[in-house]
Amino acid sequence: MALLSLCSNLTSLVSSTVYDNYLIIVSFFSLFLIMSLGDFVSCTEETKVYIVYLGEHNGDKTSKEIEDHHCSFLHSVKGTTSKEDVRTSLVQSYKNVINGFSALLTPQEAYMISGMEGVISVFHSDPDTIKPHTTRSWDFVSLLEGTSLINAGEELPQNGNYGEDIIVGVIDTGVWPESSSFNDKGMGPVPKSWNGTCQEGVAFNASHCNRKLIGAQYYLKGYEAHYGPLNKTRDFQSPRDVNGHGTHVAATVGGRRVANASAIGGFAMGTATGGAPNVRLAIYKVCWPVPNKTLAQGTTCFSDDILAAFDDAIANGVHVLSISLGSLPIKTYYEQNSIAIGSLNAVKRNIVVACSAGNSGPTPSTVGNVAPWIITVGASSIDRVFSSPIMLGNGIIVEGETVTPIMRRKLHPVVYAGDVEITGTTSKTTGKCLPGTLSRDLVRGKVVLCINSRSNRQASMEVNRAGGVAAILGNPFNENEIQVTPFLNPTTVAYLDGLNTILMYIRSEKNPMATLLPGKTLIGTKPAPVMAHFSSKGPNVIDPNILKPDITAPGFNILAAWSEASSPLKIPEDRRVVKYNMQSGTSMSCPHVSAAIALLKSIHPDWTTINNVVGRPITNATGNDANPFEYGAGHFRPSRAVDPGLIYDATYTDYLLYLCSQNICLDSSYNCPKKVPAASNLNYPSLAIANMRGSSMTVTRVVTNVGKDNSTYVLAVRSPPGYAVDIVPKTLRFSKLAEKHSFNITVTAQSSIVSRNEFSFGWYTWSDGVHMVRSPIAKEVQLLPTRNHDRDRVGVRMFPRLEKLRIINCPLLKSIPNQLEMLCELSID
């Protein structure tokens, strides 16, 4: 209410219809006032970059006519402003497939445009929203599929001619074109279907593109509209990659085979290769360094630049888009997210989009890129470690991992960081080796044990600053994995039990000694795969009826090409230059799936969608059985996807119908039917049911036969605990290929043994004796009575403009992440 009184001159902008649309229940009255005005009504006239999304072009306007049409919106809200000023406020105009523009607008102007005819959505291009989700992995995947290292699971790559003539677009930080991973030796001519360009710029010209790297463009207008001109000492104003992230992703998708590749120090030595080494790569650079931050601290990707890249990629003729970028789901509304909007336009044109799930795990409800038309990829480990043992003075060996070259074997005094800190270090920070906390006099010449460091990189550098000869760091996350870092100084990371052994040794010995032994690469370690601790988890907070992530793939300690303008650590102190670097994140797992999709596209160009139907259950980072909110349908097995037997096909219209169930319109030409099916009825290869009305619910699925003629599939079901799952019919008989059959799935509550407000998991499988088509089931039990369907998920769907809602005190939020109940105290930042 204070906002309204301060901005009374703007209240006339809010019509009574807005109040009618948002007034759900009286209890939300004050919240609704703020949300209905949202980010648009403000006392300030400060301009920001906003995206105005209008749907798609109908093809009957010239480029100038399109831009004039976009400028007409601006002219109508800027009053008597000259045409020159109007065009100055226009940041970019999308003219190929996506109809829309971005412009510098005040919140009031943005609000006015949002109510104009033909406008689907208006949203801020926020620099803090979308960021990157930062060899052996392909051999490991082949082992999971039962093939030997000799043939390395070549069936899918060979059948797909290694992706020849499939074009994969990579929207990221650019590319380092000189890398051997992007050579075009032996490749055929550029596909005639390609309609893209090789955009020249600083340190990049047309000669840097070839038959492998067939296109490259960069997008800077949104970035410069917010930050001003790019600092050319920080990045190249061209498609060239100064970060390394984009180069790594592109090489993981489609890098050529490069012998004797390794990380710094010779770790992970072997043949580096992408999953589809013959695909053609098209690079779209949209991410740039944040001013006054190191590359390790900040990279930003503006939504309007991303949407421009989508618009070009679709028009250029890519077949697959690999996007290792994303945002936390609290801001991910379908009508206000450039990746969701761009992907829907791509899928309409039979372009498959794979995206990273995010690196916000292991916290539940953190998975991003949750639109059902996107293949969302989690991250898991492979069977490789980089052993670097710690030898104590009493002869005990403690296991550790590193990719930092360590040559010395001499024993040195070993101390616990908490015992060698400067005066004033608090109990909350002791032992963590935070910057400036260690005493030079007490550390010089010693090995230092740091526990629970906030940043292993910073801890290692702090030990070095204080004169330590080596650092032993703790792995604070779990017992099954260590995310390696190419430290500048001798450093290894130990598991939790090893840390306790070392600390007990320090406490029990008068003159404790230790040394770090040289590291080596070990292959075939178990358990593997294991879900990476950082991999974002479900349930999907935007719509828990859509199970996310969809699948998991290797994303832990992955070796691939790197930018030689960067360094392994991406900090000023690191002046090393490497051709290949080790990285972890769902950014690394996503291109594994993108490569498999490219191979499948090459073999089955007639498949309209590539839906996961095979997966292998795995454990999570704590060693327990993982659940579908961590791995989706399981660990991907690309060779089995060549002949899955059955697929779940979904069309563009199916997705629009799904959006109708969410009261969302992203295509103004589509009219929702009077009776809209529930979201769970989307023909998805998994089944998630939240907010079930009554004691049972029935949904329908349709499968298409892509296996053999005259095939019969028999059902097997494992019901989620506390529920009965009945599927009718229990046998599917197909007489020919491409034949479709539907079946109904009824889920019925049986008991109250399931914890309330949690999910229970099961699966169902169709098998003909050769193919096994397995789908996970996730069922939520609600604590509170269900309200009208249109009033569910109030804070997420009914108030899409809410961007800065903080939950001050909500004990139920973790268990009911999709609702804002009366027990929550709410605050608007």
Q: Nearest to residue 28, comparing CAs of 787, 812, 815?
A: 787
Whether this model's pTM surpasses 0.85: no
Whole-number Å distance between alpha carbons of 69 and 312: 19
User: Which of these is catalytic: 587, 602, 661, 775?
Assistant: 587
Q: Which one-letter amino acid corresponds to residue 52?
A: V
Whole-number Å distance between alpha carbons of 555 and 589: 4
Distances in Å between the Cα of 275 and the Cα atoms of 120, 188, 553, 808 are: 38, 19, 12, 46
Whole-number Å distance between alpha carbons of 779 and 689: 5
Dump pLDDT digits (tens) for 722-743: 889 999 999 999 999 999 999 9
Instruction: Name every residue whose Cβ is closer than 8 Å to that of residue 514 and which is 6 or more positions away in sequence.
Output: 390, 391, 392, 393, 411, 412, 414, 447, 472, 502
CA torsion sign, 289 to 290 to 294 to 298?
A: negative
Identify the DSSP state of 518: P
Query: What are the boundaries of each domain within the chain?
Result: 40-124, 135-383+529-642, 387-515, 683-782, 790-828
Predicted local distance difference test score (pLDDT) of residue 149: 31
Instruction: Name every residue whose Cβ is closer than 8 Å to that of residue 71 and which is 6 or more positions away in sequence.
Output: 83, 86, 87, 90
Residue 587 is a catalytic residue = yes
Predicted local distance difference test score (pLDDT) of residue 630: 47
Residue 383 is a catalytic residue = no
> What's the gap between Cα 190 and its chain centre?
30
Instruction: Name every residue whose Cβ is closer than 8 Å to that of residue 384 and which is 6 or more positions away in sequence.
Output: 136, 140, 268, 521, 522, 523, 525, 557
Which secondary-structure segment (H or E) carries 131? strand 131-132
Predicted local distance difference test score (pLDDT) of residue 79: 77
Query: What is the signed CA dihedral for 603, 194, 322, 286, rounded to 10 degrees?
Result: 180
CATH top-level class for 135-383+529-642?
Answer: alpha beta
CATH 2.60.40.2310 at 683-782, yes or no? yes
Whole-number Å distance between alpha carbons of 16 and 28: 17
Q: Nearest to residue 550, comparing CAs of 608, 583, 606, 589?
A: 589
Whole-number Å distance between alpha carbons of 535 and 138: 19
Predicted local distance difference test score (pLDDT) of residue 19: 31
Dump pLDDT digits (tens) for 464-495: 999 999 999 987 555 567 888 888 899 999 98
Helix, strand, or coil (residue 316): helix
The listed CATH number (3.40.50.1390, 3.30.70.20, 3.40.50.300, 3.50.30.30) that belongs to domain 387-515: 3.50.30.30
Instruction: Name every residue whose Cβ is closer than 8 Å to that of residue 721 and which is 6 or more positions away in sequence.
Output: 753, 754, 760, 762
| Cβ atoms 713, 768 nearer than 8 A | yes
Predicted local distance difference test score (pLDDT) of residue 811: 31
User: Which of these is catalytic: 126, 139, 165, 172?
Assistant: 172
Whole-number Å distance between alpha carbons of 351 and 341: 13
Q: How many CB atoms lie within 10 A of CB 788?
A: 8
Q: Nearest to residue 557, comparing CAs of 361, 363, 267, 253?
A: 267
Q: 320-323 and 352-356 as β-strands: parallel, antiparallel, unpaired?
A: parallel
217: β partners: 284
Encode 664-685 in three state secondary structure. CCCCCCCCCCCCCCCHHHCCCC
User: Which of these is catalytic: 245, 604, 635, 771?
Assistant: 245
Burial degree of 687 (CB within 10 A; 0-12, 13-18, 19+): buried
Residue segments in the chain with a per-residue pLDDT below the cut of 50: 1-43, 135-154, 610-635, 754-755, 782-829
pLDDT above 70 as % of the chain: 78
| 239's tokens | 């498609």
- DSSP secondary structure, 9-53, as one string: GGGGGS-HHHHHHH---GGGHHHHHHHHHTTT--S----EEEEEE
CATH code, 40-124: 3.30.70.80
